[in-house]
Structure 1
Amino acid sequence: MRRLFAGLAVGTFLLSTAACGSSDDSDPSGKAASSGGTTTVELGLIPIVDVAPVYLGQKKGFYEKHGLKLAISTAQGGAAIVPGVVSGQFQFGFSNVTSLMVARSNNVPVKAVANGIASTGLRGKDFNALMVKKGSAIKSPKELEGKKVAINTLKNINETAVRAAVRTAGGDPDKVKFVELAFDQMPAALDQGQVDAVSVVEPAAATVRSQGGVEIASPLIDVAPDLTVALYFTSQQYLQKNPDVVKKFQEATAESLAYADAHPDEVRAIVTTYTKIPAAVLEQVTLPKWPAEPNRASIEALAKLGQEDGLLKSAPDLDKLLP
């Protein structure tokens, strides 16, 4: 696999890659390779529970059935995957909704093609949690003022969600010190006292719980009930040139989402193939929802908060972004 590290700044994209596996060479033209009736497409993912349906769909042959072969690369967050898709290195990617709205509001031509993941909508039983270490004096998000809080990438959905949780608890989110840290590094950083709290998703959230970590908020739910958290997307250019491939990806992904939602035990098993989570910890993992369609009302609420917090310079055109 090739690991991508990139930053997404206002109007600026810096991209660098390091080869560390056997996926196909990048395709600057944005055209996926075809062989024997099967099209190979590069897909940028984050190694978290959210993307389990894709790995499961790949194993079950859903993508192959639709004439696709996935060459998967991983990144720390959706903000890093966006430049790869826009540049043509990836044909498709997985990203949190905020990063896609930031791109769209800066006239970066990204287009969501399939739903990704949604919050469970249940406080204390979501796949994302704002957590502190065992014995911490912090009991409420309000007490995070002046504290270090780890999120996977700055200016993304997790920053908006933590800000919403702090604001809901009566605190000032502008006083929170956000630290960028990969999800799989958060449990150790929290345990060692490098940060005061983490906004973490599964399977890392289960690892934090296994260390005695305590949840103080379900931040995604403070944004909106049943929040659409992430989407699978492509570039507008690739969609225009390859509508047939995009349709195949949409159909295979929809089938994968539905299968994952109905087979939680198989989801847990597939997670062990692309993360290092121990089997004992895996049992504690809270699975998200994988609905067929995004919840537009929740995305509109997320966009409003993004503007209020300065993550979005202007309101994104959701008609151009959403499937």
Structure 2
Amino acid sequence: MRRLLAGIATGALLLTATACGSSDDPSDKSSSSGGVTTVKVGVIPIVDVAPLHLGQEKGIFGKHGLKLEMTPAQGGAAIVPGVVSNQFQFGFSNMASLMIAQSNGVPVQAVVNGVATTGEKGKDFGGLVVKGDSGITSAKDLEGRKVAVNTLKNINDTTVRESVREAGGDPSKVTFVEIAFDQMPAALDSGEIDGAMAVEPALTTAKSQGAVEVASSYVDVSDKLTVAMYFTSAQYAQQNPEVVEKFEAATKEALAYADGHPDEVREILTTYTKIPADLLPRLTLPKWPAEVDRGSIETLRDLGEKDGLYTRTPDLDALLP
């Protein structure tokens, strides 16, 4: 929390200029009733956020005096404006989108870890897949082809570029298009795209339709990659430090619970994703460590600089808790 609150005064001033909505609107604020604070959280309907859904169901957040209202979005890049404008009090975002926002002066503050790679190639919760009969056998073969990511300029196109480099290809020759995760399997099957950086449950759905994995792009960057985190705005952290501390503590407990109860994770997925029940046993679950791996984030930051994602180098000391 000490680092989380560092620099908040400066960030709060910037927030006033960059917010998309008025923070004075009571409808935008978290609400309290009977000792329980209701907070709105922007999430993506993927396996990554299962700990929040499971933690809510198991009463973990309630024990910490919180009730979550979760709103689905296509990606972290779409959630960042919602958090900065106080439409959401917290959000889930990949690290690349958070670093891009921070480098642009948007006052985002990471609060707690979100999700991490398994570190095993071919056995990760995210993978670069192609149609089985496409003739594509490596990431290099995607030169001159179209690859889907959930949102542009985020962790997925960044890591795919690294997979292409590792395979000896030129990532500048890959065309990236924006498609929601749950729409990727159909787009791949129809030939609308040549490849997709899919995460669970879209990854298993695509494979069930004949797609094959040609790279584990998260692992290609780091076998300990911190893929995403939960975050808030500098202004909300300044005004509601106790709520932020409760969210951090409850989320860490929920992460640990999810890590230790994989069958319950699979079951909770049926409540907020479109995964068919018969595919649940095939899902590869991510890791949910309580702490971030800073070294992996630094590697991702350096790749972003190589790809020209930032207007200035992200300040990880200011961003990370």
Instruction: Give me the TM-score of the superposition, normalised by structure 2.
Output: 0.92
The match for 2:242 is: 244
Q: CA deviation at 1:28?
A: 6.4
CA RMSD of aligned residues (A): 1.6
Q: Which amino acid aligns with 1:137?
A: G
Aligned to 1:41, the other structure's residue is in SS state strand
Unaligned runs of 5+ in 1: 1-11, 17-25
Q: CA deviation at 1:31?
A: 3.1
Structure 1 runs of 4+ off > 4 angstroms? 12-16, 26-30
In the TM superposition, 1:223-234 aligns within 5 A as 223-234=221-232
The match for 2:132 is: 134
Aligned to 1:283, the other structure's residue is in SS state helix
The match for 2:191 is: 193
Structure 2: distance between partners of 1:214 and 1:190? 11
Structure 1: distance between partners of 2:127 and 2:18? 29
Structure 2: distance between partners of 1:36 and 1:156? 40
Q: CA deviation at 1:13?
A: 7.7
8 A Cα contact 1:28 1:87, kept in partner: no
Give per-residue Cα distances to partners, 1:33-78, cap 9 Å, x unaligned: 1111111100000000000000000000011111111111010000
In 2 relative to 1, CA 199–38 (structure 1 residues): closer, same or farther, beyond 3 Å? same
- Range 311-320 or range 56-65, more displaced: 311-320
In 2 relative to 1, CA 224–13 (structure 1 residues): closer, same or farther, beyond 3 Å? farther
Structure 2: distance between partners of 1:182 and 1:27? 31
Structure 1: distance between partners of 2:56 and 2:116? 21
Unaligned runs of 5+ in 2: 1-16
Task: Identify which of 291, 294, 298 aligns with 2:292.
Answer: 294
Structure 1: distance between partners of 2:215 and 2:120? 11
The match for 1:86 is: 84
How many aligned positions are there?
303
The match for 1:146 is: 144
Q: CA deviation at 1:174?
A: 0.4
Aligned to 1:112, the other structure's residue is in SS state strand
Structure 1: distance between partners of 2:98 and 2:18? 13
Give per-residue Cα distances to partners, 1:78-125, cap 9 Å, x unaligned: 000000000011000000000000000011100010100000000000
Structure 1: distance between partners of 2:136 and 2:31? 52
The match for 1:309 is: 307
Q: Which amino acid aligns with 2:52?
A: V
Q: As a proportion of its length, which structure holds more strand?
A: 1
In the TM superposition, 1:101-112 aligns within 5 A as 101-112=99-110
Which structure carries more relative contact order (alpha carbon 8 Å, separation 6+)? Answer: 2
The match for 1:218 is: 216
The match for 1:274 is: 272
Give per-residue Cα distances to partners, 1:113-172, cap 9 Å, x unaligned: 010000000000000000011211110111111100000000000010000000110100
The match for 1:208 is: 206
Task: Identify which of 65, 69, 72 aligns with 2:70.
Answer: 72
In the TM superposition, 1:159-170 aligns within 5 A as 159-170=157-168
Aligned to 1:44, the other structure's residue is in SS state strand
Identity of aligned residues (%): 66
Aligned to 1:126, the other structure's residue is in SS state coil
Q: As a proportion of its length, which structure holds more helix?
A: 2
Instruction: Give me the TM-score of the superposition, normalised by structure 1.
Output: 0.91
